[in-house]
Amino acid sequence: MARRWQNNLDHSLITPKSAFLNRRQIMAGMGALAAGGIAGPALAKLGAMPSDYSTDMEPNTLEDITTYNNFYEFGTGKADPANNAHTLTTEPWSIMIDGLVDNPGEYSMADIMEGVELEERIYRFRCVEAWAMVVPWAGFELADLLNKVGVKEEAKYVAFETLVRPEEMPGQRRAILEWPYREGLRMDEAMHPLTIMATGLYDEPIPNQNGAPIRLVVPWKYGFKSIKSIVKISLTAEEPPTSWNMANAREYGFYSNVNPNVNHPRWSQATHRTIGGGLFAKREPTLMFNGYENEVASLYEGMDLAKLY
């Protein structure tokens, strides 16, 4: 704990953004203390370190982030995950990592978290449905996990799967999608430092409705790429099948990079509505690669971005 504040202090001398983080984190801590007085002890703080990859935009409230969700395993309504996800058991949890890796196997959460220093990444988040939020995740780079298990030369893609447990996931008792929910990334996208595995939100363990205990976050892609409650990661030579592309290939591509210039077949992607902005909030312009163009545009050099939707 002491180390965390010490580190923040050092960091705040370097960039003004970090000074902002300090103030916000202190306020978040005070909020947790106040809540603790009424509702019992606050959740353990994760102590995630500030990161220069964070945006300096004001994050959405925890309330916004945990009550307006897409997690079809718990139903298709935006309030369904918040209402239903308490039934999910997240302990014990493990991820099967297989395919083109040096050390395949079943990794427990303890294995996965061993030696990991969590970072706070405040990222823009843009759903394909044209709404957006700003989310203070706590997590670590997917590259760190992949390097830990060893990526074989022939591996070109990473495939992810969500838990299948219809007893605890009422949405899985219906054929809304073909379960498990599946997603995938090209290897260079998976290894990019912006790509994280999130285990926390507002410096506390990630709530079930947001994908506990561990989910992917790829901030320059539409939200559906950021698969929740992951139990399997496979390294492959071929592009893996992905849930929304399987459900409707005309509307959802494998890449699905945020692109304001390419509309969804049924709506414009030029602007979005920011959740929490109130009933009369203006729509805001959507940015190329969701504002991460400088960081990721080089990954797609020579590719026709209009075809990548």
Ligand X SMILES: Nc1nc2c(c(=O)[nH]1)N[C@H]1C(S)=C(S)[C@@H](COP(=O)(O)O)O[C@H]1N2
Instruction: Point out which residues bind Mo ion (CB under 5 A).
Output: 70, 127-128, 223-224
CA 10 → CA 7, 20, 49, 50, 56, distances in Å? 5, 14, 11, 11, 18
Q: Which of ligand X, Mo ion, none does residue 226 bind to, with CB < 5 to 8 Å depending on kind?
A: ligand X
Q: Residue 99: left if φ>0, alpha if ψ -120 to 50, beta else—which one?
A: left
Q: Which is nearer to Mo ion, 128 or 158 (CB)?
A: 128
Please select the residue that binds ligand X; options are 25, 226, 256, 290, rule is CB under 6 A. 226
Q: Which of Mo ion, ligand X, none does residue 60 bind to, with CB < 5 to 8 Å depending on kind?
A: none
Please select the residue that binds ligand X; options are 210, 234, 256, 290, rule is CB under 6 A. 210
Peptide bond connecting 205 to the previous residue in cis, omega within 30 degrees of 0: no
71 near ligand X, judged by CB under 6 A: yes
Q: What is the smallest separation between the CB atom of 55 and ligand X, expressed in angstroms? A: 16
The letter for the amino acid at 199 is T
Local structure of 133: helix, strand or coil: strand
Q: What is the smallest separation between the CB atom of 149 and ligand X, expressed in angstroms? A: 22
Q: What is the smallest separation between the CB atom of 153 and ligand X, expressed in angstroms? A: 30
Partners of residue 124 on adjacent β-strands: 134
Q: What is the smallest separation between the CB atom of 160 and ligand X, expressed in angstroms? A: 9
Please select the residue that binds ligand X; options are 18, 54, 60, 70, rule is CB under 6 A. 70
CA distance 9 to 5: 6
Using CB under 6 A as the binding criterion, the count of chain residues that bind ligand X stands at 16
Distance of CA 127 to the CA centre of its chain: 11
Peptide bond connecting 50 to the previous residue in cis, omega within 30 degrees of 0: no
CA distance 113 to 171: 29
Task: Please state the φ and ψ torsions of residue 86, each to the nearest 5 degrees.
Answer: -65, -20
Q: What is the smallest separation between the CB atom of 306 and ligand X, expressed in angstroms? A: 22
Residues in 81-140 that interact with ligand X by CB under 6 A: 127
Please give the residue ranges that form the binding site for ligand X (CB under 6 A). Answer: 69-73, 127, 162, 181, 210-211, 223-224, 226-229
